[in-house]
Chain A
């Protein structure tokens, strides 16, 4: 294995483009090193991107949104009051990934590029409408987060492409988000079901809703029917009932060591209702709390 510490994304891409065999980018390492230790993936080339300028920064953009560097850890996000104020659901989702120790290393970008359908931060990012900047030999492109994972452990990124930042939109007035996951213990498990929701209200009425399910299909699901079930409502009992049904209907899960098809399908509806209530409460409180 060859270990590189490029000082720029340009150099990182050059190394990746020339590399043969398996290449991995290293940020927090909480997936890469596990896979190495477990003999699942032993990269031939490991490119540590933590020495590149700006990768540790959380920056407010001119339009009120946020740019999160690819080496920003979960702990750093949780400790950022303004980011957490704008996007509590997203920050909580990242905070759910692993232990205190994992939070000291794990990153949003790593959680995304690992390609797991159960990644906690991904439904929250998709619900938020986040995108990533992807740099390749031909320049930088902006890709919606939901377009990165293509299946378990797979992404749409080319061998010589690297994510350079996560872009979170501005929190609009009357907006609120939430993410919940189901795990059998209180901590340390992979999500059996996850649900991220971002709402915008006009008064008490939901005008926009992005409902995203995790761990119930090969990739996270941004489900329009779930959103439609509650748009135009005040999240009354009937709307919540429709939401649960839509969420369960959207599921295309598997039975594995972590849960059954029946369980995931039912609990997706339960979590969607619970997350929607939290997001609605936050939106009513004015979004940025």
Chain B
């Protein structure tokens, strides 16, 4: 087998579901998460935050706080660099307010003290004088004439003239002539949709432990999806040389995109520098809701034309995303993903990135995609209903496949949408009878997959066992997947491999664990590093045998002569080669560094049965099936877990989760009591079907699987509610008051 071969069948280890390497630590409580680190002499930090949605900071009086016994230092914006521009200025502005507090919860000062209680007490004693300013938190209002301007001059060149200054980026894409396409339609449906902001809802609040001295050398421990990114940003914000700050990623208690950015880390570093002592900061849940990075809220218009036979003739979408008081709402992803499942001759999508007085949005699992899918898949469902067509047949008829020109531009390589639709159609769920009051909905969804900077090192021990060092924090069991891929390549048992997440001083740069990239990119790098090691192992055997290294193959963990002509030697096991590595050329290490570009996109089809109580408007999800293309499921149980977890988050988004802002612009539901994520008794078992249409860009066929699962649920549930209760909800969440009001309007 050539070292660059793509292997898609005949796996021995890949495709099995062994126990995770971090399992014992996590069931015994000894796994160390962000808040579980302690250091000698450690201080505790707390942050004072704006109670106003929008206010000029007139003055900050820290004298009372400083007078409190146990307080060691206070920092404000003045303790950070004042010469930043662009993206890093925006990050700093969010981490610590400058002249103006831009949202409820915006950090304005921070304190380090000898205990958590003293630090919190001191933060309350910091006296900030504000001049309140008009605020806006709604996306449509923020774009309207007369809306308060969050920050003039933020808009980039993409924004057409005449729009409100809060519109800071604009996107337009598509192909064909949508008007001509609509003229061919037998039925056109256009509707307006809105979705509220939701939060990733990871159970572990942001936490870090920072140590930094006046010599510019520092160590940072934090829960993050990407510690090289933390290193890059924190060193920039504090004016450090990047390599002098070593960042270690803790075990991470959920991220879902929300831990791809920094909030408290630069603050802890600044406090540590000022006190010359380690400083730990742990956010409260309220701080997480108010001042981390929820997703964008949206206002969307979608228009789709269809022929009587189900052919979509044209589609157009306008997607307005509010992303808080900074640029960056992922409206281009909404636009690019919304129509991606369909092979369209005429399609156009427009996106607006809108600023408002809310916290800066962060990525949330397939950022931007679920909202667009909600609007598009709802309209397609209505078209199917009105034309009397089966929703899966219509989707099959229009489905994107290999060679389809994607709505966002490029031509799809091999993709698995058709296979998910066929599998959904064949699933017993799709034909199961429904009880009275129940309805069934289906929806498709799409998400990309990213490559990005990746480096992996794979070292062999003297006994032939293997240590893999990767740089992507393990947020869903990736250490097991890496070990499985390495086991496959090396032909040694999974148990003989240990995979560790390196700190930033121990490996080359690694892009964040996001974009469903870890099993794809770190997996690819692990495989290539293993193949690099195999080449070296074969070389040692060749030298011992006195034959050409090209004449040695690697089979089941042993070097073997590649054929009768190569010579007659007994297989040389990995352990034997490693035992003598010191005498045969020194340590054997495989490694791989690249930014891989063969990422494989993933489609899904979901089926859901919902029951609506007509007297209270309460919706219960009674059956749920996820069908998704994984390319190749390295560890099927964890792939199922990704499918189930994404579906559950989507169910929450669809039914009950939302950011509720009062007229005063303050967040009203900053606790899990009122930010209602699904609890165990809310959900049924979530059935999964793993479709495997290999990605030609990965040596084992892997596609990104982590994110697509949150894209279909919003529309699938809206379609099920429509079928169950005869009302179409255009706004999320579909909470009981909204459904009851819709039922009242219908009657």
Contact = CB atoms under 8 A, between A and B. Distances in A.
A32 to B, nearest CB: 15
Contact of A186 (B120, B660, B679, B744): B679
| Secondary structure type dominating chain A contacts | loop
A260 interface: yes
Interface string A167-188: 0000000000000001011111
Interface in B689-743: 735-737, 740-741
B678 A262 contact: no
Contacts of A186: 679, 681-682
Contact of A270 (B616, B656, B676, B679): B616
A257 interface: yes
B737 A259 contact: yes
A260 B617 CA distance: 13
A25 B656 CA distance: 34
A258 interface: yes
Interface string A260-286: 101100110010000000000000000
A190 interface: yes
Contacts of B660: 257
Interface residues of A, number: 22
B593 to A, nearest CB: 46
Interface string B671-688: 111101011011000000
Interface residues of B, number: 28
Given A263-B736, A266-B740, A184 B286 contact: no
Interface string A13-40: 0000000000000000000000001110
A260 B737 contact: yes
Given A260-B737, A263-B737, A182 B673 contact: no
A189 interface: yes
Interface string B642-677: 000000000000011000100000001101111010
Contact of B737 (A185, A262, A270): A262
A184 B616 CA distance: 9
B549 to A, nearest CB: 63
B470 to A, nearest CB: 37
A185 B679 contact: yes
Contacts of B681: 185-187
B10 to A, nearest CB: 46
Contacts of A182: 616, 618, 736
Contact of B673 (A188, A262, A263, A267): A188
Contacts of B744: 262, 266
A187 B735 CA distance: 15
Contacts of B741: 260, 262-263
Contacts of B615: 267, 270
A266 B674 CA distance: 22
A257 B668 contact: yes
Given A39-B124, A263-B737, A184 B676 contact: yes
Contacts of A263: 617, 736-737, 740-741
Contact of A184 (B120, B124, B656, B668): B656
B656 A185 contact: yes
Residue from the set B674, B678, B736 with the largest chain A CB neighbour count within 10 Å: B736
Contacts of A266: 740, 744
A280 B744 CA distance: 29
Interface string B610-644: 00000111100000000000000000000000000
Interface string B324-347: 000000000000000000000000
A262 B738 CA distance: 10
Given A184-B736, A185-B678, A38 B286 contact: yes
A258 B741 CA distance: 15
A190 B668 CA distance: 14
A258 B736 contact: no
A173 B451 CA distance: 73
B676 A189 contact: yes
Contacts of A187: 679, 681-682
Contacts of A37: 284
Interface string A186-197: 111110100000
A222 to B, nearest CB: 23
Nearest to A39: B124
A125 to B, nearest CB: 22
Given A184-B655, A187-B681, A189-B676, A38 B671 contact: yes
A146 B744 CA distance: 34
A185 B676 contact: yes
Contacts of B679: 185-188
A259 B124 CA distance: 32
Interface string A148-167: 00000000000000000000
Interface in A205-250: none
Given A186-B682, A257-B668, A267 B616 contact: yes
A53 to B, nearest CB: 33
A30 to B, nearest CB: 11
A280 B32 CA distance: 55
Contacts of B669: 257
B337 to A, nearest CB: 29
Nearest to A99: B679
A270 B618 CA distance: 13
A263 B738 CA distance: 9
A39 to B, nearest CB: 7
Contact of A189 (B124, B655, B673): B673
Interface in A105-143: none
A44 to B, nearest CB: 14
A257 B674 contact: yes
Contacts of A267: 615-616, 736, 740
A260 B672 CA distance: 20
Contacts of A38: 286, 671
Contacts of B286: 38
A256 B674 CA distance: 11
A289 to B, nearest CB: 25
Contacts of A270: 615-616
B65 to A, nearest CB: 15
B673 A190 contact: yes
A100 to B, nearest CB: 11
Interface in B412-459: none
A168 B744 CA distance: 41
A267 B307 CA distance: 43
Contacts of B618: 182, 184
Interface string B381-422: 000000000000000000000000000000000000000000
Contact of A258 (B120, B672, B674): B674
Residue from the set B668, B671, B672, B737 with the largest chain A CB neighbour count within 10 Å: B737
A185 B656 CA distance: 8
Contacts of A262: 737, 740-741, 744
A89 to B, nearest CB: 19
A258 B733 CA distance: 13
Contacts of B672: 188
Nearest to B660: A257
Nearest to A190: B673
B662 to A, nearest CB: 8
A147 to B, nearest CB: 28
Nearest to B667: A257
A205 B679 CA distance: 41
A274 B616 CA distance: 12
Nearest to B124: A39
A266 B617 CA distance: 11
Contacts of B682: 185-187
A154 B109 CA distance: 34
Given A185-B656, A188-B676, 9 more contacts: A39-B120, A185-B678, A187-B682, A188-B673, A259-B737, A263-B737, A267-B615, A267-B736, A270-B615
Interface of B: 120, 124, 284, 286, 615-618, 655-656, 660, 668-669, 671-674, 676, 678-679, 681-682, 735-737, 740-741, 744
6 contacts: A184-B735, A185-B679, A257-B668, A259-B737, A263-B617, A267-B615
The 4 closest A-B CB pairs, nearest first, are A263-B737, A186-B681, A270-B615, A257-B660
